[in-house]
Structures are given as structure tokens and as C-alpha cells.
Structure 1
Amino acid sequence: MKMNPAHQQGSAKAFTLIFWLLLMGSLTLFFNGFIEQKNNPNRHLVETGAGATDVVLLRNQAGHYVAPGFINGYEVTFLLDTGATNISVPATIASKAGLKQGRQAMVTTANGVVPVYATELDTVQLGGITLQHIQAHINPHMSDDIVLLGMSFMKHLEMTQRDGTLTLSLPGI
């Protein structure tokens, strides 16, 4: 049985279209992973060191240290910010993590003076480091889903920065 030439041509076009769609989809997945790796090279944070309490972070392409972590068991992405006095949690994340909004305060940010709300975090975890009862504030003016990990957490750690890496550890361990 011979196939109709018009039918053969239609099948060839369909297979060509499917091929290109699969190729484009594969390339999109590959490059999304590539871009994510450049923006957050620590997305698969591994605990290192004796007792797994040292955390080694790689600097991203913008020169920042970004890493996954947890606030009260809720998964977040941290941007380490030694210029921030407290941990600053966007209101959308605070709501999802069940944080209680406390007293209003005014803070100075890169975008000017804004009102924020005090809160206390039961636990903050970054790799193998977990600290309890950490002061933070809820910032309704932060539009993204990145938590600024400020000095209310970092002041409890020893920090060593060398060759594009930052090593965090608990003192005396």
C-alpha cells in the first residue's frame, strides 16, 4: 500500500515540528539551570566540616552570597547582608511562614526610610547551622522572595572570606 505524497509531506512536517519543540524545550531547561547556577551557586548547599557546622558559600556572578535555608521550618532563599541589622523578611514569606507581626518601626534601607514590623524567629537554619530566637523584621515593601540574612543571625558566627568563598561557622566548634 502506497502512502499519499501529501500525507507523507504532512507527516514529515509534524515530525519536524515535534523535533524542534523537543529541542527548544530541552535547551530551555538546560539554560534555566545554567542561569540559576550562576545566580545561586549554593542552591544545593552542602554541609561541611567537623560536626557539619561549617557552611561554605560560593559568591554568585553579581558578587553576592545567596543560599537556601529555613525560617521556622519554612524553606527560603537567603541573601547574606552584613549591612542589615536584622533579618528582613518580605511580607509574602512572613505570611507563608506564619510569622507574627509585632511593633512597627522605621528603618533606613537602600530605598529610603520604610516602616517594618518586629518579629522573632524561632529557628533560622543555613546548612548545618541552626540558631534559635533570632530578631527579625517583616518588610511589606520587599517585592521579591529573597530574605536578607542580616547581622541578627551573622553576629553569632565566625566568617572567613577568601577567593570567592565565604565560610561560616559557630565559634568554638
Structure 2
Amino acid sequence: MTEVDATNKIGKYFVWLAWLIALAILVFVFQDILDEQTNPNTNPEYALSAQGKAEVYLKQNRYGHYLTRGEINEHPVTFLLDTGATEVSIPATVAEQLNLPTFGSYPVQTANGSVKVYQTKIELLSIGNIFLYNVRAHINPAMQGDEILLGMSALKKVEFLQTGKQLILREQ
């Protein structure tokens, strides 16, 4: 094998390596764009109203839903706002990570049928500068994923106003 052949072979490896690096960079950049479209509220905007009340501004995601980052008992979580849910509904895997206590079980009717859930209470639920205390919730072993349904047991404690593709949550 001549020196020219060895140089050509090394050159081909570097071209392949450059393409792989370029592809990895594109995946990294586009994954951030897709994540932003799925949950545009990973750092929700918040402020105080003219009356001094806490307000959080949420953007609709590309599917028309409102997802946001928040906290349960000072642990970061992702909420999906659901005015059709009676209570905050937490997947069992997430509840386990949060070390939430249970206070008995009861059946509930969901979009996927009847399921047995476990009553719990959230000491502190927060989104931006809104803080809710002693929120009723249940742990749902049938829920998949890590999104927590933010139901009416929490939402009834805030005012909400939708304008276009934005939702404003305001403390009462």
C-alpha cells in the first residue's frame, strides 16, 4: 500500500467523522426545537399584577395544550392543565419519586375506563410565583409517563384567563 492510498483512506475516515459530528449537532439543535414545541413553558413567565397578585403566563403548545414546569413539595415536575380532571392526578411512578403518602383508595372514571386510585395530599404545589398549599390529589397507577394532570382541586384555587394562545393564571 502506498503513502497516497493511506492518506486517502485517512481522509475518508475524517469525512465520515465530520458527517457524523454534523448529524449529531443537527439532532441536538432540532431536539431543543421539538422540546420547546411540546412544552414552551419549561421556565414560565411570571410577574405581579397591578393589584400585587402573583400571575403566571403560559403559552399553548403545538397540540393546543398547556404544559408547564412546576414543583410539588419543592421537587420539579411537569404539569398538564386539565380542567376536566376533578383532582390533581399523579402517575404512581412520579408519586413514588416524590414520596407522597396515601390515605386509602377509591375508584374513579377516566377517559380510559374505571381505575382504582390512592388519595394523597400535596403540601406545596407551585408554578412560577403561585404557591398552593394542601392540595387534594390522587395517585393513579394506570397513568403512563411523567406528566401530572393539574386538575380542578388545584385550578379552583387560582383565576385563569385564556387570551388567544396564552393562559394567565392568577392567585385569588
Q: Would the TM-score normalized by the shorter structure come out above 0.5? A: yes
Alignment of 1:87-106 (within 5 A): 87-106=88-107
What amino acid does structure 2 have at the position aligned with 1:53? Answer: A
- The answer for the alignment partner of 1:36 in structure 2 is 35
- The answer for the alignment partner of 2:127 in structure 1 is 126
TM-aligned CA deviation for residue 140 of structure 1? 0.4
Q: Provide the TM-score with structure 2 as the length reference.
A: 0.95
- The answer for the alignment partner of 2:77 in structure 1 is 76
What amino acid does structure 2 have at the position aligned with 1:61? Answer: R
TM-aligned CA deviation for residue 43 of structure 1? 1.3
TM-aligned CA deviation for residue 49 of structure 1? 3.0
- The answer for the alignment partner of 1:66 in structure 2 is 67
- The answer for the alignment partner of 2:44 in structure 1 is 45
Which segments of 5 or more consecutive residues in structure 1 lack a partner in the other structure? none
- The answer for the alignment partner of 1:113 in structure 2 is 114
Deviation per CA, 1:67-98: give whole Å up to 9, x if none: 00111111110000000010000000000001
d(CA) in 2 for partners of 1:156, 1:35: 32
d(CA) in 2 for partners of 1:127, 1:142: 25
What amino acid does structure 2 have at the position aligned with 1:34? Answer: I
Distance 1:52 1:18, change over 3 A: farther
Alignment of 1:137-152 (within 5 A): 137-152=138-153
TM-aligned CA deviation for residue 44 of structure 1? 2.0
Of all paired residues, the percent bearing the same amino acid is: 38
Deviation per CA, 1:29-81: give whole Å up to 9, x if none: 11111111111111122222345710000011111000001111111100000
Distance 1:56 1:5, change over 3 A: same
Distance 1:52 1:9, change over 3 A: farther
- 3-state SS in 2 of match to 1:7: helix
d(CA) in 1 for partners of 2:92, 2:47: 32
Taking only aligned residues, the RMSD between alpha carbons, in angstroms, comes to 1.3
Alignment of 1:1-40 (within 5 A): 4-40=3-39
Contact 2:53-2:171 at 8 Å conserved across structures: no
d(CA) in 1 for partners of 2:94, 2:116: 17
Contact 2:45-2:58 at 8 Å conserved across structures: no
- 3-state SS in 1 of match to 2:18: helix
